[in-house]
Amino acid sequence: GECTSEALERFRVSAGAEAAVRGRAARLMSLAGEGQLLVGLSGEGEPLMGLAGEGGRKTPLSLEEEWHLRLIVFVSATLSLAGTSLVLVSMYRFRELSKRFFAMRLIGYLAVADGFASIFNMCGVLVDTAYPAADGAPGDSPSPLCEVQAVGLLYFNLASIFWTSCFARTLYRDVAPPAATAPRISLRDAELTFHALCWPLPALLAGGTYALGYV
């Protein structure tokens, strides 16, 4: 009799656990059908699963973890903006030197691009990635502010890369011996060429990326 009671108890526990698993599986299938479940893989290849957050955000992170990440981005972007502001203020304070030395102006242009990239990173703390549907349910279409931030980040980060390349080209020009047959370009012409490359080309790339639907 005692063995029979123990077996029945184990059976009831097993049946209860199976019912709980079935109920959770049904709930997950329902959420997946509604587009509120996100399934993916971590960096180590382990499965990740999470619910869509408030305002249409779909992320495997909890709301607290997401805000921690946003806080880290905001603090780092603020420090970057402070650094670029210091560069620009120093250039204005010593503007006579900036007029004389081409390298200082290059650093200033790079600081402008990095400063605006920092501002768009700071704006990302307040931007949701998905636009809620009309009935308040999570939506799949990106919010307008998210698109503006994405295009702005892409443009100014590309401009920063271009200006860094131009700065490296200028250093190479000053360090490497000029070739005997290569004409030496004046710094004034080089500055105009750099402006013609470093502002319009990132705009074309960012605009093309947005037009093709990759933003």
**Looking at the whole model, is its pTM more than 0.85?**
no
Residue 47 has pLDDT above 50, yes or no: no
Instruction: Give me the pLDDT at residue 38, please.
Output: 47
Residue 159 has pLDDT above 80, yes or no: yes
Please tell me the distance from the alpha carbon of residue 72 to that of residue 204, in angstroms, as a whole number: 31
CA 61 to chain centre: 16
**Three-class SS state of 83:** helix
Residue 168 has pLDDT above 90, yes or no: yes
Instruction: Give the number of other Cβ atoms within 10 Å of residue 77's Cβ.
Output: 19
Mean pLDDT, residues 123-145 taken together: 64
Residue 128 has pLDDT above 60, yes or no: yes
State what percent of residues in the chain have pLDDT above 70. 63
State what percent of residues in the chain have pLDDT above 90. 39
Closest listed residue to residue 138, CA positions, set 51, 70, 69, 67: 51
The answer to whether 197 touches 162, Cβ cutoff 8 Å, is: yes
**Three-class SS state of 126:** helix
Q: Which of 9-13, 70-74, 81-85, 185-189 has the lowest mean pLDDT?
A: 9-13
Per DSSP, helices labelled H in the chain are 2-33, 63-93, 95-100, 102-123, 144-175, 187-198, 200-211
Residue 137 has pLDDT above 60, yes or no: no
- Spatial neighbors of 28 by CB under 8 A, at least 6 apart, are 37, 49
pLDDT band for position 40 (50/70/90)?
Answer: very low
Residue 180 has pLDDT above 80, yes or no: no
The answer to whether 131 touches 147, Cβ cutoff 8 Å, is: no
Please tell me the distance from the alpha carbon of residue 56 to that of residue 139, in angstroms, as a whole number: 5
DSSP type of residue 141: S
- Spatial neighbors of 165 by CB under 8 A, at least 6 apart, are none
Please tell me the distance from the alpha carbon of residue 51 to that of residue 38, in angstroms, as a whole number: 6
Per residue in 192-202, pLDDT tens? Answer: 999 999 999 99
Mean pLDDT, residues 156-182 taken together: 86
Mean pLDDT, residues 54-67 taken together: 66
Q: Look-up: residue for tokens 């271009």?
A: 162
